Structure 1
């Protein structure tokens, strides 16, 4: 008996040591998971404003842009050159701008050593021009999509969408904004001088390993994807912007691959939300916070006083589905993002309009049918992405209601290519804040359900699909993506090619 007692004592001691080690490791991970740059950012670099892309106009009125995907180096930190990718430069890309009703053509050239592509996020385009996984461009090849711009003025963006590699390609710097203008917006008294009182603000989180980007995952306890330890705006670390107007419009874009931000200002001032993914709201809203998951956009107007400074900040969030997810997926993190510095004397700005126009998205009552999408890391509705399989078939011209539920607790969002949708319900309740605007991407926290009304305008193409997916890009790359095709009434779906194309 004494021998067995000694064995049990030894085993108990080993177990106690093991549990203590595991507990200590978990505590270390928990305590080290939170990130905050509040009060630590020097704001000593002037914000880079991406140039407006040059274009030419053909005889038939088609506006032509050129985008070249290329490798290079960028000096984010003084004296240190980081290997990066960009469009028409070493990092990020120019801002493309076109008007509603214009025909657009983009000459896309791939000078990288691997296949990539360009997806027009938020744009209504034919499926063959969408730039998803079926339109990858091989190294040394070109692709020339063209379409007619037929949607309201909005802040869109472009980025690569190669199957299984989107996170890395966006992290390396392949992204840019695409702004659409229209006559209605031009007539409204909104800040609209690009780079002056109308600023693009593309926010990304980054980490550095010496001179190089650190693309690794921060903790083995989270499956969100890469989470950086600091932020940059338009590729600028520690940015400031001098402004000379009373009202400044910020076109906020969450261009991060996994991080969710809750934007506001360090002094907790009010700002005015005027637009979301799909364009202007019906009426401006006064808010203190606007939450953006990866891929979402918001247009906000902030009032400045002469000589003051205002810090755009991302605050901690409490809607990640649970304490564990909130801690390890970035919900407890906070960042000082951008400092606005008002000039000693400011130009007067006109009063913002009280009404901006109706949303061009359907109501729930317009829907011909409904569909359900369950989000899990294992896939959507239990299926991982398969480029050769059509998951859903929709009829051109019809409206539908899609119900999307986060079934596994990890933070997810949901992006649908080609369409803008109306958020009908959030966990059974009417939407508030930015969810009252036209959207193409929506955050779906753990355990939450959203209902979305959308219309499919086509054109019909049974053989070329659009995507729907989680826009946390690690999740997308792991297979949280499905495909749908638009067909004419009575037409059947075809068989999409399983791979991309080489260009020409």
Structure 2
């Protein structure tokens, strides 16, 4: 009996040690998962502003851009060279700019040693020009998409979309802005001098292992890569000198998994004037604007002479449960960009009371509804298949799509080619930040959104567009589906295996 007791004591002690070790490891992981740079950044580097891309105009009026994907090295920190990718340079790419009604052509050359591509995120384009996984550009190959710009002024962007490899390609630096202008927006009294009072703000989270990028992710979280610091336009610890009372920031969340809740360190209000697809109907005064991966927002902040304020990302409580907030980044905070006002500022008048009229449907003329359940296992229970068309829509019709997060992990939802209106969030009207034209929307755990969109074509039964979670690790794992736009009575003719890799 005494021997039996000794065995029990030994096993009990062993179990206690194991439980204590596991508990200690979990506590360490729990504590270490929370990241904050708030109040700790020195802001030593002047913000780099991506140059406007050069273009030529052909005889028929087509504006032509050249983009070359290439590998190189970038010195983010003094004396440390980091291997990176970029368009027309070592990291990120130039800002493309075109006006509504213009015909554009982009000669995309792939100077990498593997296939990649360029998707025009937010752009209304023919399916064959979309730059999704069916239009991969092989190593050493060139692809030349062309289309007519037919949408309102907006802050769009471009990035790779290779099937199963989008996260690492974007993370390495392949991304840039594409600005669309139009006459109505140009006539409004808004800051519009690029790089002066109208500033692109491409936000990414990063992690360095020495001079190398760290592209890994923690084993207790499932959102994808989460870095422990941020940079803007490829600039670590950035500041921007402001010479005007009003400054317009075109915010782009170009991270692959991290979600930001932007505001200012002194909690000042700002005017939200635009979302993914362009200007709002009127400016909305806010103190926070949340952007999941791929989303954009145009904000205008008023500065006083000689002052400083910091663009900050604040902790967020709408990820789902406490586990998702802690290990998915919801508890994190970052100081992103310091604005430094000069001692004398150029005067800026008030913003217009009215900006535009939205060109997205309101759901009243929807011809049908569709449902999309988001899980890590796929959308509506199916992983992406290049040869399978999941939905077929009729050109010229409007639809209402209901999207629900069914597994509690933070997701969002991006639809190619169209801009949509958010009709409802969990059965209620959307908040101000979601009342504009959108192409990407955050869908927290357990949440449901209803979206109204119209498919204006052109019809192409043989080439699909994508819808997917834009947390790119999730996309790469198969959280993506395909739809084709057809004329009434047509059916899909997409071939098994798709068309990718042939450019």
TM norm. shorter chain > 0.5: yes
Quote the residue 2:105 is aligned against.
Answer: 105
Quote the residue 2:360 is aligned against.
Answer: 361
Say if 1:382 and 1:502 are closer, same or farther in 2 by CA, change over 3 A: closer
- Distance in 2, matches of 1:501 and 1:470, equals 20
| Cα distance per residue 1:173-222 (max 9 Å; x no partner) | 000000000011011000000000000000000000111111111x2110
- Distance in 1, matches of 2:143 and 2:502, equals 5
- Distance in 2, matches of 1:275 and 1:497, equals 40
- Distance in 1, matches of 2:36 and 2:368, equals 45
- Stretch of structure 1 that moved more, 10-19 or 262-271: 10-19
- Stretch of structure 1 that moved more, 334-343 or 350-359: 350-359
**Cα shift at 1:463:** 1.0
| Cα distance per residue 1:70-89 (max 9 Å; x no partner) | 00000000000000000000
- Distance in 2, matches of 1:29 and 1:444, equals 26
Quote the residue 1:325 is aligned against.
Answer: 324
Q: Does 1:70 align with 2:70?
A: yes
**Cα shift at 1:28:** 0.5
- Distance in 2, matches of 1:158 and 1:496, equals 27
**Cα shift at 1:152:** 0.4
Quote the residue 1:452 is aligned against.
Answer: 451
Say if 1:157 and 1:495 are closer, same or farther in 2 by CA, change over 3 A: same
- Distance in 1, matches of 2:161 and 2:182, equals 28
**Cα shift at 1:47:** 0.3
TM-score (norm 2): 0.99
What is the correspondence of 1:338-349 to structure 2 with a 5 Å cutoff? 338-349=337-348
SS of the aligned residue for 1:362 comes to: coil
Q: Does 1:150 align with 2:154?
A: no
- Stretch of structure 1 that moved more, 7-16 or 232-241: 7-16
- Distance in 1, matches of 2:11 and 2:363, equals 63
SS of the aligned residue for 1:365 comes to: coil
Work out the number of aligned pairs and report it: 503
- Distance in 2, matches of 1:227 and 1:499, equals 32
Check whether the contact 2:423–2:450 (CA below 8 A) recurs between aligned residues: yes
**Cα shift at 1:500:** 4.4
| Cα distance per residue 1:293-331 (max 9 Å; x no partner) | 000000000000001111000000100011000001000
- Distance in 2, matches of 1:118 and 1:346, equals 40
Q: Does 1:398 align with 2:416?
A: no
**Cα shift at 1:110:** 0.2
| Cα distance per residue 1:262-298 (max 9 Å; x no partner) | 0000000000000000100001000000000000000
| Gaps in structure 1 of 5+ consecutive residues | none
Check whether the contact 1:367–1:401 (CA below 8 A) recurs between aligned residues: yes
Q: Does 1:383 align with 2:382?
A: yes
- Distance in 2, matches of 1:96 and 1:346, equals 29
Quote the residue 1:59 is aligned against.
Answer: 59
Q: Does 1:34 align with 2:38?
A: no
Quote the residue 1:428 is aligned against.
Answer: 427
| Cα distance per residue 1:57-97 (max 9 Å; x no partner) | 00111000000000000000000000000000000000000
- Distance in 2, matches of 1:406 and 1:11, equals 43
- Distance in 2, matches of 1:497 and 1:117, equals 20
Quote the residue 2:43 is aligned against.
Answer: 43
**Cα shift at 1:11:** 2.1
SS of the aligned residue for 2:364 comes to: helix
SS of the aligned residue for 1:109 comes to: strand
**Cα shift at 1:53:** 0.2
**Cα shift at 1:366:** 1.3
Check whether the contact 2:134–2:501 (CA below 8 A) recurs between aligned residues: no
SS of the aligned residue for 1:18 comes to: helix
TM-score (norm 1): 0.99
Quote the residue 2:132 is aligned against.
Answer: 132
- Distance in 1, matches of 2:73 and 2:495, equals 37
SS of the aligned residue for 2:255 comes to: coil
**Cα shift at 1:503:** 5.1
Quote the residue 1:176 is aligned against.
Answer: 176
Quote the residue 2:197 is aligned against.
Answer: 197
Check whether the contact 1:141–1:502 (CA below 8 A) recurs between aligned residues: no
**Cα shift at 1:350:** 2.2
**Cα shift at 1:497:** 5.0
- Distance in 2, matches of 1:17 and 1:253, equals 48
Check whether the contact 1:469–1:480 (CA below 8 A) recurs between aligned residues: yes
- Distance in 1, matches of 2:69 and 2:156, equals 19
Please provide the CA RMSD for this pair: 0.9
- Distance in 1, matches of 2:47 and 2:134, equals 36
Quote the residue 2:471 is aligned against.
Answer: 472
- Distance in 1, matches of 2:502 and 2:49, equals 31
